[in-house]
Amino acid sequence: MTHDSNCIFCKIVSGDIPAAVVYEDDRCLAFADLGQATKGHTLLIPKDHQENIYELEEDTAAYLFKMAPRIANAIKTEFEPEGMNLINNNGKAASQSVFHYHLHFIPRYGTNDGFQPSFEDNSAQYTSEDLQLIAKNINKHL
Ligand code: DGP
């Protein structure tokens, strides 16, 4: 198990700093996000220090996403939100501030709950041929 002594989430894993633990087992930890973007905002992390989606080992990813529906359903049952966003930020440009992989569970209480993820619709700028080329160019690296 990799532990980075400078990583705040590794310190939570080791118990060096406290957290409001939602769930814990030998491989993962879920705890309340300090910021509570909305009520019930929870983070799910691997105990192993893996920085981001690019570094995430496939079996770690599989385990986190195996647990994800359980965490989401527990939040849903408790707070009865109208929806839920699962978000993972990778890199500073994508608003990652803690460089230990984490999945945000953000329960949504209507459209005015203070959390506003938005996506531009740029579909007018791309033809279906453009999309085919984008897909092909990504696929060649898989
Ligand atoms: P991100 O921007 O995706 O890297 O999200 C990092 C989140 O981690 C942010 O929502 C606040 C939360 N966070 C940072 N430090 C702590 C901490 O010490 N304890 C807890 N519970 N959450 C933290």
- The pLDDT, as a whole number, for residue 118 is 87
| CB contact at 8 A, 63 and 46 | yes
- The pLDDT, as a whole number, for residue 111 is 85
- The pLDDT, as a whole number, for residue 31 is 98
Spans of all domains in the chain? 8-139
Residue 102 a catalytic site member: yes
Give residues with Cβ within 8 angstroms of 25, minimum separation 6.
none
Residue 15 Cβ contacting ligand 1 at under 6 Å: no
Q: Which helix (H) or strand (E) holds 130?
A: helix 128-139
- Residue 129 CB burial class (10 angstroms; 0-12, 13-18, ≥19): exposed
This prediction's pTM: 0.97
Segment 111-117 shows an average pLDDT of: 92
| Residue among 43, 98, 103 to mutate when testing ligand 1 (max atoms within 8 A of CB) | 98
Q: Which helix (H) or strand (E) holds 9?
A: helix 8-14
- Identify the CA nearest to 47 among candidates 15, 1, 89: 1
Task: Tell me the CATH number of domain 8-139, given options 3.40.640.10, 3.90.1110.10, 3.30.428.10, 3.40.50.300.
Answer: 3.30.428.10
Query: What digits encode the pLDDT tens for the residues 66-109?
Result: 999 999 999 999 999 999 999 999 999 999 999 999 999 999 99
